[in-house]
Structure 1
Amino acid sequence: MLAFITSVRHPRNSSDYGRVEELLRHTLASVCRQTCDDFTVVVACNRVPAGTFDPRVEFVVVDFPPPVTTAGPRTGREAVLRDKGTKMAVALLAAQRHRPDYVMKFDADDFVSRRLAEFTSGGSGPGWYVDEGFVVSADTLLITGCADFNSRCGTSEIVANRMYDLPTDLPPLDAGQDELSARLGTRLVRDLLGSHRSTVSHFAAAGSPLQPVPFPAAVYAIATGENHSGRTWMDRGRPVTRAQAEEFGIAHLRHPRAWVALARQEAARAGSRLRPRTGHPGPGATG
């Protein structure tokens, strides 16, 4: 059993919460397209989003305050780690009723390969990380390959449930943020669930290294207008192919305007090649 877990930001921590819900609907549709039925999905959120969802998706509502008092998606790293980490902890606790073998965190606006549940089925090791994936722009609808994916995107770790070393006496699902951190440990809540930067090195140092997934396994969405990172730009890309749409459930990103963006991209690159380099005479210049 593979448990996919995610968190949804506080409604105040967004520019447009309707947009947050729309992104989540597309993401959950992607996650639920697995080729193997041995999976479940748990979402921790401040309120159940609007829409109709696959019956395998479970929503757990928390009463956590906004991570910061100002409105908007950019909150600062520490606020994100606390809000996301404690919500992910609640999702992880809720997933325990399914007795998962593996747990995969995913961000609520990204996409995953439909082969992951089948890939992890029958596994016995400590887990995997996504080393190869894609980045897609919600603005241009262009997609490009992304190496070292785990260092860039949180939708990138599949960890054996036992590796989280949860206590026998689990906190209740309605536990507060301070109680979750105290009983599960700051290392788990803040660093392993709230972030993705140290997970691979943490388990390697513990003598249980995660292995790379042997195929591109996730898509990092940027320029959604609601990214914590604020990243909006990439310097290359191609329109989403039919194969990519099928693999990751991103048919909604296949649109004719991607070809317009591609033409603009290629024109800009051609113009860049024609511009003279600093310190060298341009076309027609005399010495």
Structure 2
Amino acid sequence: MVVAGHEPPDFDVGFDSRFCFLSVHHAIPPHEDFVVSRRLDKLAKIAAAWKHAKSRWNPYYVMKLDADDLISSRLVQWLEERGGEPGYLIKHGWVWPSGSRYLVQYTEYLDRVCASCLIMRSDLADQQGPFLTGVEGVRLDQVSLSFAASDHYSLVPGSGMTTLLLNDSHQRYAAQFAYLGHKLGSVPFKAVVYRTRNPESSSAALETGRPTLRMILGTIRRMKFIPKTLRREFALG
């Protein structure tokens, strides 16, 4: 695991030889949209981490993970035993309001809300395609903007070129794999905890607007108490 950041974490980074903290020193990419600027910063860190990982190890799969999200302790073993597809989409997961001690929400649509939802084979990570959209700050014409607003899953006409790894358009991952001639598999269990209401997260800026009554009722229906097994699996505090 490679963690890239401007500031080191507040624990001993040498506790495990499989863990590496990579200090980066680039300036935050300027952009008129603060959220886009944070996304570009995240992608720059992912690029640095991926370059370091390739120089140090020979990974078969790669997964990008936002710093405040959590992955299941079962995931790596499952990949070792069952893996073989070009990539896997994680659709099933948990939504955990930051600081909540007792409640967590399950979701079957993790890939719609959380960028930590894709595992890809390493030989595909650097393959390129038209994967950059307005999410990453690309200026699209009005036709492309209208298309992106109405279709959240297909490739957007007029998109910029980048690699499969270095984009943040997570709802379009299946289309990106199809463009490269591959089909995504899926992880059959809830493998990621998406943490919300974290003031230090760039996604916090997107958590605006007043939820509808239907959304509130749906959230209540999917809520459950956090069992001990889930706390152990994801090291939930």
Q: Which moved more, 1:86-95 or 1:227-236?
A: 227-236
Q: CA deviation at 1:139?
A: 4.1
Q: TM-score, normalised by structure 2?
A: 0.71
Q: How far, CA to CA, are the matches of 1:127 and 1:205 in structure 2?
A: 13
Counterpart amino acid of 1:187? T
Q: In the TM superposition, what is the alpha-carbon distance from 1:204 to its structure 2 partner?
A: 2.1
Conserved 8 A contact 1:128-1:213: yes
SS, match of residue 90 in structure 1:
helix
> Which consecutive unaligned segments of at least 5 residues does structure 2 have?
129-159
Query: In structure 2, the residue corresponding to 1:224 is in which secondary structure?
Result: coil
CA deviation vs aligned residue, 1:101-148 (integer Å, no higher than 9, x gap): 000111100111111111111533201010100101114442011111
Shift of the alpha carbon at 1:201? Answer: 1.6
Deviations 1:23-43 (CA, angstroms, capped at 9, x unpaired): xxxxxxxxxxxxxxxxxx001
Q: Give the counterpart of 2:28 among 38, 46, 66.
A: 66
Question: 1:67·1:75 contact (CA, 8 Å) conserved in 2?
Answer: no
Matched residue of 2:194: which SS? Answer: strand
Q: Does 1:199 align with 2:158?
A: no
How far apart are residue 67 of structure 1 and its match?
A: 3.6
SS at 2:119 equivalent: strand
TM-score, reference length from structure 1:
0.59
Q: Is contact 2:126–2:165 with CA below 8 Å preserved after alignment?
A: no
Aligned-pair CA distance for 1:85: 1.1
Q: Of 58, 64, 71, which residue of structure 2 is paired with 1:99?
A: 58
SS at match of 2:26: coil
Partner of 1:222: 196
Aligned residue type for 2:178: A
Stretch of structure 1 that moved more, 102-111 or 49-58 = 49-58
* Superposition map of 1:1-287 within 5 A: 41-53=1-13, 54-55=15-16, 56-68=18-30, 75-77=34-36, 79-96=37-54, 97-121=56-80, 123-141=83-101, 142-165=103-126, 186-188=161-163, 192-195=165-168, 196-230=170-204, 231=207, 235-236=219-220, 237-250=223-236, 252=237
Q: What is the Cα-based RMSD across aligned positions, in Å?
A: 2.5
- Cα displacement string for residues 245-275 of structure 1 (whole angstroms, at most 9, x for unaligned residues): 122111x1xxxxxxxxxxxxxxxxxxxxxxx
% identical aligned pairs: 29
Select the structure of larger CA radius of gyration. Answer: 1
Moved over 6 A (4+): none
- Give the gaps of 5 or more residues in structure 1: 1-40, 168-184, 253-287
- Contact 1:84–1:194 (8 Å) recurs in 2: no
Question: Does the residue aligned with 1:100 lie in a helix, a strand or coil?
Answer: coil
Q: Give me the whole-angstrom Cα distance separating, in 1, the residues matched to 2:51 and 2:78.
A: 23
Instruction: Please tell me the residue identity of whatever aligns with 1:132.
Output: H
Question: Partner letter of residue 183 of structure 2?
Answer: P
Q: 1:202 to 1:50 in 2, by over 3 A?
A: same
Q: What secondary structure is seen at the aligned counterpart in 2 of 1:80?
A: helix
**Cα separation, 1, equivalents of 2:125 and 2:30:** 28
Paired with 1:127 and 1:147, the residues of 2 have a C-alpha distance of 18
Provide, for residues 182-228 of structure 1, a one-character-per-residue CA deviation record: whole Å limited to 9, x for no partner: xxx9512xx74341233222002322111110111100011122221
